[in-house]
Amino acid sequence: MITVLGASGNTGGRVVRRLRESGEAVRAVGRDPGRLVDAAAHGAEPHVADITDRAALTRALRGADAAYVLMPLDLAAPGYRAQQEQVGTAIVGALADARVPHVVALSSLGAELSTGTGLLEALHEQEQRLAALDASVVLLRPGLFFESFLPSLAPMLATGVHHDTIDADVALPMVATADIGDAAAALLRDPDSAGVRELPGPEELTVPDAVARLGAAIGRPGLRYERPPEDVMRAVLVEAGLPADLIEEHLAMNAAFNRGVVRRHGVGVLATPTTIEEWARSAVPVA
């Protein structure tokens, strides 16, 4: 049996479906029972547990031959670092308590760096916790999710412009979460797998290129990217209601992208074939 945390999310949901298609018994874990309906429809055992509750997670993980774990990002929650530490320690504690022998953990390119990467520093800390487990652990390090464009989709479509503080000439690995889920499912079925696996996507893209190609794919040609000054972007994010600490973490991560320190290293690279056009046509909701 394989336990999947975040089973109603982009990667976790895909993992559940792929494992069930291959005949694996799956325990699908999420906080909201209403969002586990799809997992149950695919034959998984739904299991409700809060991601910060070590005892509840231990019950969800007990008896599992393998587990898929991740630390969800709550855009509305203040105290990002404290919240991520609470989540991370609960997950690793539960994995240890349940003695899960094989773990596939979602991380990120850049998580090998301890400082200077903003949001990604919490993933570095989680990788260090996972390293202490008596288990075979696979660290999935994908590039920037195509899905990261979705929160700003409405203003992008309304104005024709996407704004962020990534420099226009910086090319980044970008990947579809469906490809991450496919890779994770395969690794969960391989108990001997361990170490880092990079998932950089089919090509590196600048944000202007990504926005233009996204627009063309959904019938909105002419979408473009503008890189405002950091202070301007900070004010926009404050107006949008994001917590102040999360804004600073985001801006620091973008600054790391601009310095070129968040990059692929060619370690255990896995194929992630979905292009931004293929992703956009299947995943972007446009009225």
* One-letter-per-residue 3-state SS of 110-160: CCCCCCCCHHHHHHHHHHHHHHCCCCEEEEEEECEEHHHHHHHHHHHHHHC
Q: CB of 82 within 8 A of CB of 122? A: no
pLDDT at 124: 98
Q: Does the residue 210 lie in any domain?
A: no
> Rounded to the nearest 5°, which phi and psi values hold at 188?
-65, -30
Q: Does residue 161 sit within a domain? A: no
> How is residue 174 written in tokens?
């970008």
Q: How far apart are alpha carbons 226 and 16 in whole angstroms?
A: 38
The enclosing domain of 22 has a CATH number of: 3.40.50.720
Range of the domain at 77: 2-142+176-199+263-273
Question: Quick one: what percent of the chain has pLDDT higher than 90?
Answer: 95
What mean pLDDT is reported for the chain? 96
Ranking 2-16, 70-84, 243-257 by mean pLDDT, the lowest is 70-84
Grade residue 242 by pLDDT with cuts at 50, 70 and 90: very high
Domain annotation covers residue 160? no
Whether the per-residue pLDDT at 213 is higher than 70: the answer is yes
pLDDT level of residue 286 (50, 70, 90 thresholds): low
* Contact present, 6 and 32 (Cβ < 8 Å): no
Q: What is the pLDDT of residues 119-174, one digit of tens each?
A: 999 999 999 999 999 999 999 999 999 999 999 999 999 999 999 999 999 999 99
**Looking at the domain assignment, is residue 32 inside a domain?**
yes
**Single-letter amino acid, residue 46:** P
Residue 279: pLDDT band (50, 70, 90) is very high
Within a domain: residue 285?
no
C-beta separation of 90 from 69 below 8 A: no
Does 82 map to a domain? yes
pLDDT of residue 115: 97
Average pLDDT over residues 46-68: 97
Write down the pLDDT at residue 33. Answer: 93
Two tokens, residue 147: 């899905």
Question: According to the model, what pLDDT value does residue 283 have?
Answer: 87
Q: Give tens-digit pLDDT for 83-129.
A: 999 999 999 999 999 999 999 999 999 999 999 999 999 999 999 99
Share of the chain above pLDDT 70, in %: 99
Residue 92 within any structural domain of the chain: yes
- Are residues 1 and 68 in contact, defined by beta-carbon separation less than 8 angstroms? no
pLDDT band at 287 (very low <50, low <70, confident <90, very high): low
Structural domains in the chain (count): 1
Mean pLDDT within 29-35: 94
> Is the residue at 67 inside a domain?
yes
